[in-house]
Structures are given as structure tokens and as C-alpha cells.
Amino acid sequence: MEMTDSIISILDFTGTFAFAVSGALAAAEKKFDLFGAVFLGFVTAIGGGTMRDMMLGNTPVAWLHDIRIFYTIVIAVVFTFLFRPTIIRFTKALFLFDTIGISVFTIIGLQKGLGVDIHAPIAVMMGITTAVMGGIIRDVLCNDIPLIFHKEIYATACLLGGIIYLGLLYLNVSESIIIVTAATSIFIVRTLSVRYKWSLPKFK
């Protein structure tokens, strides 16, 4: 159990850091000032978790009583500010950090839902909400169409990861293996969908 808690904690801070970096990179692309970058990194990192906790009635929301989350976001923004020229050399940097974020936050949100005994399909929706809401806020503030509404596979990857999580849970697989497998599957599906231009049918 302690090992599982450690994995979840690592994933939580990894996702927070990754989303904060993606927010800071988006701010840099829009030529925001440093305060704007910090603000955008902050709302990107905590937006989904805040929405999830409010919907589940878990208040105060997680980041309000864990100062480490605040420090993680600040460090991520400073990291991006200092090393942006190096990060930008990787043409898919924003995509990479965003994909890491949705991969780990889907699992964390799903587990939070299951932890309060809501139905499994709704728990998956909590996972998706945790994963995508921060990115939606980021894109809206940057005056961009949110990625979730693009033709690319985005929230669908989170959905598949959630289904894999529940399937392995039903088969009584070790929880640490479930977490890693489900998060990795989201990352892989999202990456392959962009590489090979997979998409859902358009609504006409």
C-alpha cells in the first residue's frame, strides 16, 4: 500500500509539474509577461483537480492545504523561463508535457472518484475532467480552441486509459502495475494518434 501511495504521489507531482510547464510554454508563445506565465502555469496545473474536488465535495481543494503543489508550480515556471531555448528545440515540447499531464491526472482523478464510492463510469469521467480541464482553461485564456475540441484523439485517450484501469482492477492485478499500465497507455495512444493522424469522425 505504501508503495502504491508513493507512486500516486510521484505521479501527482509529475503531472502538476508537466502541466505547469505546458502552461508556461503556452504563455511564452503568446508573449505573456512573467506574471502571466506564472498565472497560466498555475491554472493549467490545478484547474482540473480543483474542478474534480469541487464536484466530489472535497473541500478545501487539495492544493489549498498542500504547499508543495504551489512550490512545484513555481519551480516548473521558473524552469521553463530559464531553459525555454533548450526546451523549444524539441518541436513537440508543449505536446509532450501536456500528454504527460493528461496521462497521470486521468488516473489520479479516477482513483479519487473510486475513493468516494461513486460508480465506476462516473469515476472515469472524474479522471477525464481532472486531465483536461486545466488545458481547457489554458487554451481559453490564450484565445485558442481547446485541444479537447480538435479532431485529434485527446479525451478519448483518457477514456481508454480509464477503461484499462477498471479492467485490470477487475482482474485483481497489482495496483501499482494498474497505475503504470493505464497511464502509459494514455501516453502511447495520444502520441500515436498525433503521429498517425488518428481522429474521431467529425460532427456535421
Tens digit of pLDDT for each residue in 89-125?
665 777 888 888 999 999 999 999 999 999 999 999 9
- What is the residue range of 176's domain? 2-195
Number of domains in the chain: 1
Q: Do residues 164 and 183 make contact, with C-beta atoms less than 8 angstroms apart?
A: no
| Predicted TM-score of the model (pTM) | 0.88
Coil, helix or strand for 12?
A: helix
Is 140 inside any structural domain?
yes
Q: Do residues 165 and 128 make contact, with C-beta atoms less than 8 angstroms apart?
A: no
Is 129 inside any structural domain?
yes
154 backbone dihedrals φ, ψ, rounded to 5°: -135, -80
Is 77 inside any structural domain?
yes
Is 13 inside any structural domain?
yes
- Rounded average pLDDT over 159-164: 96
Is 169 inside any structural domain?
yes
Is 80 inside any structural domain?
yes
Is 127 inside any structural domain?
yes
Q: Cis omega before residue 121 (within 30°)?
A: no
Q: How far apart are CA 101 and CA 12, in angstroms?
A: 9
Q: How far apart are CA 1 and CA 59, in angstroms?
A: 25
pLDDT band (50, 70, 90) for residue 152: low
Is 186 inside any structural domain?
yes
Question: Among the residues of the chain, which ranges form H helices?
Answer: 2-29, 34-56, 67-88, 93-115, 120-141, 155-170, 175-195
Q: How far apart are CA 136 and CA 122, in angstroms?
A: 20
Query: What pLDDT digit, counting tens, does each position of 5-46 carry?
Result: 677 788 888 889 989 998 998 998 898 988 999 999 999 999
Q: How far apart are CA 37 and CA 30, in angstroms?
A: 10
Instruction: Please provide the size of the chain in residues.
Output: 204
Count of alpha carbons within 13 angstroms of residue 87, beta-carbon side: 22
